[in-house]
Structure 1
Amino acid sequence: MAKVGIADVAQAAGVSEATVSRVINNRGTVAAGTRKAVEAALRTVGYARTNVSNVVLLVTPGLDEPFFARTSERIMSALGMHGLRGVVCSAPVGGTQELDLVSAMVDAGIVATIFVSASNTLEGADPGVHRLLTREHIPFVCINGAFDQADAPVLSTNDALASQLAVEHLWGLGHRRIGLIAGPTGNRPSDRRVAGFRETMAALGAGTGDGTGDGTVDAAVYAPVVRIAYSMEGGVSAATTLLGAAEPPTAIIAASDEMALGAIRAARRAGLSIPGDLSVVGYDDALPLDFVDPPLTSVRQPVDRLAAAVAPIVLAQVRGRHPDATELMFDPELIVRASTAPAPR
């Protein structure tokens, strides 16, 4: 008996062999009626599926960062509940390694890709990655930022609200000189946090300002912003700059928990106590912050809700549906601990 092939299925369903291949491999877009006809033809002719891929690629900047590791783990768990397998690969944001990695995984037969705060967070990122996926009819989802000119679902933490929560908490404690340590310009989440910080401070009646880019801050400004690379060392450097101003802040908001811990180190080197002289707020809440000294107040990203929401969207894409590409915003939560207190007199 001759082996049944794709051509036999295509003839039985009245479609092209390429369409049959997309249905078998869960790749590309196939109309619901056509997919149903192909599935029926597969059963009718007795086609035996082999090596049907259900692998979803997760691209993330670095698994050594607790937030990225935790988010990837939660997403993989959620995908598993829908019969999909997640594979995590790390690549520097905006580098050629990301394109090479995605290209290799496309050749391996992935059915979808999730960008977990990868190059999708970078303004002006090389479009080669998402163009490759579009060309190969492989759907993708972005977390915390959309690619320019790419039609794909986006799920993001509401970073403007994150800044608002932190500012309003500190303002309620009597702080009026509040500084922000933010990530580099062009990083979408960081840009949104800066915008939310300035808007909230202005609404409360404070002046706003920015670092000059060379590490200096206008001493007369009550809401200075310093942009720097995400890291504990970056937090130390930025906090040192803020605390060296003629009118230093009584509170600092950092764009990551690592930056916040760096700010605490810089404050202690300057002879300040936390929170007696300086209140500090972090962001992410992915570290065991109850066990640092003092326990760190932080804005928690809604990782579990993001992961639970992204899995059914990916499943719908794999099945040939087109979820709405409108960006979904998930509200963060302020977790108050001992690193914030009333402003010093």
Structure 2
Amino acid sequence: MRTVYSPDHARHDPQKELSDGALVDAVEKPARAEIVKARIEEVGLGSIEAPTAHDDALIARVHSADYLQFLEGFWADWRAAGRDAEAFPFVWPVPGLRRHKAPRHIDGRLGYYSFDAGSPLTEGTWDAARKGADTALSTVDIVSAGDRAAFALCRPPGHHAASDFYGGYCFLNNAAIAAEGFLAKGAERVAILDVDYHHGNGTQAIFEDRADVLFVSLHADPADEFPYFLGYADETGTGPGEGCNVNMPLAIGTDWPAYSDALAAALVRIRASGAEALVVSLGLDTFENDPISRFTLKSDDFRKMGRMLAGAGLPTAFIMEGGYAVAELGINCVNVLSDFEEAAG
């Protein structure tokens, strides 16, 4: 399987994040991608290729123009305000306040375009996120040209980013951008399967009123876990998208038998949907030793996951999302990809 990777991901290199009431060392850091890359090279999974540049048209189908302008120009505005440390928002337009337009002040804009305080913006965030979008679209190019699957080794991750806000370590929604890439290449319907421990609230929000993208997510019950305010089973889509959003919240402590039952049901929905391509939001934080997650999948379970995903029978773009247990992250990622490839034949 071919992997698309750019060293520019490391330009987003946050040092701290706000967690449990304290500034602590960031867990979403460049080492994540490098550990996965090293494992790919170690086992000889396939070639590792640089992404090709893509114009902004597909990104603009996913994200609003003002949000993209904010991200691209943020660091210059931050420095112009006399700031040079990593940026964290601290005020948000919650219900009861107005979100009618972005404030002029940089602190107001930070809150306007975000939904949490745990995702620092840095000098290189835009460059890394923009190259991540190219990475995702390059996997679509590979798959659309005839490969059964390809892997986008991109960071920062993307599935928490919505059309006009960031959070959950995510700034551009790479999976959503990949889905738009498949549609632009002629697919009439695309499925996105999110297997990250956390719900892909951004992806759901982007596609919830559309019938051309089926979004299916397996994740920790949002009553107990981030992002808390989206991801419940009764969220099934709106308007033309009714029935095209499928959430499968799972209990804290979920193990492989329970997880695999849900995954099997998710794949039934995908096979019945008429999708012509599959985007997998490949979060690996369902692992038993992940430092910020509470499922109990073991490394060998990711092999079984890969084989099950191959059973969808669809051209597949794998997009890297979460996974923070760095010692095993590369093993778990390659277990999914290698067993998918073997099962797909």
State the TM-score, normalized to the length of structure 1. 0.31
State the TM-score, normalized to the length of structure 2. 0.31
